[in-house]
Structure 1
Amino acid sequence: MSNPATHFTHAVSRRPGASVTGGLRAEDRGAPDLARMLAAHDAYIATLRETGAEVIVLEALEDYPDALFVEDTALCLPEGAVMMRPGADSRMGEVAHMRPTLAGLFDDLRDIAGPGHIEGGDILFTGREVLVGRSARTDAAGVAELRAILDEWGHPLREMQTPDGVLHFKTDCSLLDPETILSTRLLDASGCFDGYRVLHLPEGEEAAANAIRFNDVVLMPDGFPRTAEMLEREGYDVRLIDNTDCALLDGGMSCLSLRLNVA
């Protein structure tokens, strides 16, 4: 049976809007180029579809510049979906816009009611457990509320601390297969991946840490040749996606989709 953390029947993504140039960023390194971002998004969607998955592409939300980063709005598991409660005030409204789509895919929809906050970018589902990193966007109260839901669904949750200066837990790691995690040395040094095989990013290519395993391919940002070579040497089918503009908004491969299984 395929692992629900790496193999999917469906994905949900959202087109970038013109307002994306005003998206949140930890450091202002310039505004993204919308035309180039749309072309990269097309390539991303096409790659997901090539695996045989059905990809639902939602229209842009101009009132929410960061809405293309749909991963932060929900956690999708075999039992159902949990609607998140983003830690950035400007992103809170995105969840309600995602709800109708997920309600059409899942029978069981749960909510993080608050007052805590949690974002999908801080959650790594490995198939055998759910790893959650507290960060500037995810706090202890949000994690506790998610834990109560996952206890009911039978998924163990392991809570840890995302390193200072790292936006999301998955900014610095990704799941390559149920036993293997790609990680920066900084994050792995905490011991959070004990029990897994860990591949470290080559020095100077830490920004390639956010990749996604989607069915039989690994999507990773272009421009990191040593990381791509390492993954290919390990036997992964690597597909390179231009992440130039998403990176200006601290976004990456996992941020751009919700990945799920629907019978």
Structure 2
Amino acid sequence: MSNPSFEFTRAVTRKPGASIIDGLRAQDIGTPNLETMLQHHADYVATLRETGARVIELPALLDFPDAVFVEDTALCLPQGAILMRPGAETRRGEVVQMAPTLRAQYDEVLEISGPGFIEGGDILTTEREILVGRSARTDAAGIAELTELVAPWGHAVREVHTPEGVLHFKTDCSLLDAETILATQRLAATGCFDGYRVINTAPGEEAAANTIRFNQFVLMPAGFPKTAATLRAAGYDVREIGNSECAKLDGGMSCLSLRF
């Protein structure tokens, strides 16, 4: 039995460009180093390819500093893709740039037309439902439009809330398998994962929550040894990927790819 929420044959990534120093960030914790980010990105792509998946690596978009974070541009499901409408207006052009790639991969590509907005970083797809977190980047109207679009494909959407001060819902959580979610204690405490098995990030390691399960691997940011040890003890094949530069732009493992 396949698990469409974490078993993939393809992924789309985009190389970071020199304009990344102008990327959006909640707070300034330093300027990203492009050379280091390129090395981390190469490690990330190589790990995806190690699973046997085909990775479509798109060139940098200098006009869009945040374009490396491709996940926000679309939701990829087995039945088709849905182009998002980012809450950050400066990022909406990234969706236009991504559309041809997805149309070449899918027979059906729909799009959020607005007036609401929604970003992929707020969407967690599990085997049973699509969880969408309200945030500064995703509003009720965007969630309502997504709900209408995915209903004919048999998907149910459940609206939840992103913790105050957290950029995206998936900043604080990720899917580990069909029944298990990795989450910060502050997000798990809201009860939004009732009915799932929850593994909490270690205290002080909240930034480890944004990982991805991609086929046999769990890709997590390097530098969070207690959470990594917890995941390995639970039986997961963990690969730690450098994320120091993306973290300066509030980016993590899920942000860097579209997976389908």
Alignment TM class, shorter chain as reference: over 0.9
Question: What's the offset of the Cα at 1:139?
Answer: 0.2
Is residue 202 from structure 1 mapped to residue 198 from structure 2 by the alignment? no
Q: CA deviation at 1:119?
A: 0.1
- Secondary structure of the residue aligned to 1:63 is coil
Q: Secondary structure at the match of 2:62?
A: coil
1:239 maps onto 2:239 in alignment? yes
Deviation of 1:127 (Å)? 1.8
CA offsets per residue over residues 27-67 of structure 1, 9 Å max, x none? 00111000000000000000000000000000000000000
SS of corresponding position for 1:104: helix
Match of 2:66 in 1: 66
1:24 aligns with 24
Could you say what secondary structure the match of 1:42 adopts?
Answer: helix
Matched residues in 1 for 2:241 and 2:2: separation? 25
- The residue number in structure 2 matching 1:86 is 86
CA positional deviation for 1:89: 1.0
Matched, 1:257 2:257: yes
**Counterpart-to-counterpart distance in 1, 2:57 and 2:151:** 31
Q: Structure 1 vs Structure 2: percent identity of aligned residues?
A: 67
Q: Any unmatched runs of 5+ in structure 1?
A: none
Q: What SS is found at the alignment partner of 1:240?
A: strand
- Residue 181 of structure 2: aligned partner: 181
1:145-164 matches, within 5 Å, as 145-164=145-164
User: SS at 1:207's partner residue?
Assistant: helix
For 1:129 and 1:144, the matched residues in 2 are separated by 15
Tell me the TM-score normalized by structure 1: 0.98
Alignment match, 2:222: 222
Measure how far apart 1:161 and its partner are.
1.0
Q: In structure 2, how many angstroms separate the alpha carbons of the residues matched to 1:152 and 1:113?
A: 17
Q: Partner residue of 2:52? A: 52
State the SS of the aligned residue for 2:85.
Answer: coil
Letter in 2 for 1:15: K
* Distance (whole Å) between structure 2 residues aligned to residue 202 and residue 257 of structure 1: 25
Give the Cα separation in 1 of the matches to 2:127 and 2:105.
20
Q: Which amino acid is the alignment partner of residue 61 of structure 1?
A: L
TM-score, normalisation: structure 2: 0.99
Q: Does 1:131 align with 2:137?
A: no
Deviates more, 1:56-65 or 1:147-156: 147-156
**CA distance, structure 1, for counterparts of residue 86 and residue 240 of structure 2:** 29
Query: Offset of 1:150 from its aligned partner?
Result: 1.3
Q: Structure 2: how far apart are the matches of 1:30 and 1:42? A: 22
Question: Aligned pairs, how many?
Answer: 260
Structure 2, gaps ≥5 residues long: none
